[in-house]
Homo-oligomer: A and B are copies of this chain.
């Protein structure tokens, strides 16, 4: 079996802890797990002393995103190379319907861009304009293989804002289609008033940014989205929860038995608002909060309230971030697709007692389930062989130079980490091997996702 690959002797998390065992890969899928020592295979990966688990599924990242006169510097090739160095084997990015333009056109345009991806990819579709015509388009989008939508409750001046009446209509259509809705939930009015007040006081420098978006703006919008989703009977994922009050709103909904999921990112788990000094690099929406919020989010990761840890990756350069004088002109978003896995291993598993099974669920199994990726998220016979071989002993320090994103800085620079990706396999093919990327542009395949039930 020349075309077979054997990963032998690693400690496997499927996500279940299988102990030290072997994995046989054939025809891009997992063929068998177990004691397979003598099995003939063209490629043998000795994973002794390594951790072996399903590839990370990135469900919130922005390649080539134009924002505030800038554009994120990663295209689908460089972004997925960077991601793969961080264990990413699947990327779900966004296709954005804009006012007056057909959603499917945006989808096809993004599909074209994504052809250079080295990992498998799919899209969420953002709708900003809810009309009878766009509600019909939602069905066409689902039929094109996109079974999750995104809506914004804010950015009115940027044309992204969806009002509550339209939101409810869109949620109801999504429920009819069996699709998932996801939201960026911040109260636009509260932010607008706070921003106007800061302007009136001349507090326009980047360091005033967090004052423009108080926790209540997130708590209120999350609470409202949950009520509308409950009314519509649709499944809801709340993007990038940042605050104690916000995650408590999600937890309360989960306790009532509602299908409400929470996403957060390493940004909110590792940083606090002290980063908002004079340089503008750290501006991201919603803003980074305080210590009590950070701790509440970790608690929610440990107790299962947080379902998904994504990155909201936006690879702006330092120059792009620093160009504007006023905080509202700074393009929002931070790079992070490559650092997420080692940061979560270091801060979660090593430091806070997060179980490896739970880490694998949050990075891979849960997003596969929530976003209907049937072939991904677990190491079981027949599943796609998307696999990370992880060296738990390797020590390194985060620096922008050590990473592969198309930017010159990292919010996590200086952090010391134990553990690093040794190999990343996509459908059985080794795409990352130590410091080298072995995959060519276009290695990834489009994931046509069917809606759930």
List residues of A whose CB falls within 8 A of some B CB: 14, 16, 18-19, 21-22, 24, 26, 30-36, 163-169, 187, 189-194, 216, 219-220, 223-224, 227-228, 231, 378, 380-382
With contacts A32-B36, A169-B193, A220-B228 known, what are 13 further pairs, Cβ within 8 A?
A18-B382, A21-B381, A22-B32, A24-B32, A24-B34, A35-B382, A163-B189, A163-B192, A165-B190, A165-B192, A168-B190, A216-B227, A219-B227
23 contacts between A and B (CB under 8 A): A16-B380, A18-B380, A18-B382, A19-B380, A19-B382, A22-B381, A24-B32, A26-B35, A31-B34, A32-B32, A32-B35, A33-B34, A33-B380, A35-B381, A164-B187, A164-B189, A165-B187, A166-B193, A167-B189, A168-B190, A168-B216, A169-B193, A223-B224
Q: Is the CB of B34 within 8 A of A193?
A: no
Q: Which residue from chain B places its CB closest to the CB of A187 in the assembled complex?
A: B164
Contacts of A223 in B (CB 8 A): 223-224, 227
Distance A22 CA – B191 CA, assembled complex (angstroms): 57
Q: Which residue from chain B places its CB closest to the CB of A215 in the assembled complex?
A: B231
Contacts of A378 in B (CB 8 A): 16
Q: Is the CB of A164 within 8 A of B220?
A: yes
Q: Which 8 A-B pairs have the closest CB atoms?
A: A32-B34, A165-B193, A34-B381, A164-B189, A163-B189, A165-B189, A31-B35, A21-B381
Distance A216 CA – B230 CA, assembled complex (angstroms): 10
| Minimum CB–CB distance for A266 against chain B, Å | 27
Q: Which residue from chain B places its CB closest to the CB of A26 in the assembled complex?
A: B35
Distance A164 CA – B217 CA, assembled complex (angstroms): 9
Copies assembled: 4
Distance A31 CA – B37 CA, assembled complex (angstroms): 10
Q: Is the CB of A381 within 8 A of B33?
A: yes
Q: Which residue from chain B places its CB closest to the CB of A220 in the assembled complex?
A: B227
| Minimum CB–CB distance for A201 against chain B, Å | 11
Q: Is the CB of B220 within 8 A of A224?
A: yes
Distance A223 CA – B35 CA, assembled complex (angstroms): 47
Distance A11 CA – B191 CA, assembled complex (angstroms): 51
Contacts of A18 in B (CB 8 A): 380-382
Contacts of A228 in B (CB 8 A): 216, 220
Distance A216 CA – B381 CA, assembled complex (angstroms): 46
Contacts of A227 in B (CB 8 A): 216, 219-220, 223
Q: Which residue from chain B places its CB closest to the CB of A164 in the assembled complex?
A: B189
Distance A440 CA – B192 CA, assembled complex (angstroms): 52
Distance A191 CA – B227 CA, assembled complex (angstroms): 16
Contacts of A30 in B (CB 8 A): 34
Distance A195 CA – B129 CA, assembled complex (angstroms): 18
Contacts of A163 in B (CB 8 A): 189, 192-193
Distance A33 CA – B36 CA, assembled complex (angstroms): 10
| Minimum CB–CB distance for A16 against chain B, Å | 7
Contacts of A216 in B (CB 8 A): 168, 227-228, 231
Q: Which residue from chain B places its CB closest to the CB of A130 in the assembled complex?
A: B193
| Minimum CB–CB distance for A353 against chain B, Å | 13
Contacts of A31 in B (CB 8 A): 34-36
| Minimum CB–CB distance for A203 against chain B, Å | 16
Distance A33 CA – B163 CA, assembled complex (angstroms): 51
Contacts of A165 in B (CB 8 A): 187, 189-194
Distance A381 CA – B7 CA, assembled complex (angstroms): 14
Contacts of A169 in B (CB 8 A): 193
Distance A234 CA – B32 CA, assembled complex (angstroms): 40
| Minimum CB–CB distance for A5 against chain B, Å | 13
Distance A18 CA – B165 CA, assembled complex (angstroms): 43
Q: Which residue from chain B places its CB closest to the CB of A192 in the assembled complex?
A: B165
Q: Which residue from chain B places its CB closest to the CB of A163 in the assembled complex?
A: B189
Contacts of A220 in B (CB 8 A): 164, 224, 227-228
Q: Which residue from chain B places its CB closest to the CB of A378 in the assembled complex?
A: B16
| Minimum CB–CB distance for A156 against chain B, Å | 10
Contacts of A187 in B (CB 8 A): 164-165
Contacts of A19 in B (CB 8 A): 380-382
Q: Which residue from chain B places its CB closest to the CB of A190 in the assembled complex?
A: B165
Q: Which residue from chain B places its CB closest to the CB of A167 in the assembled complex?
A: B189
| Minimum CB–CB distance for A130 against chain B, Å | 8
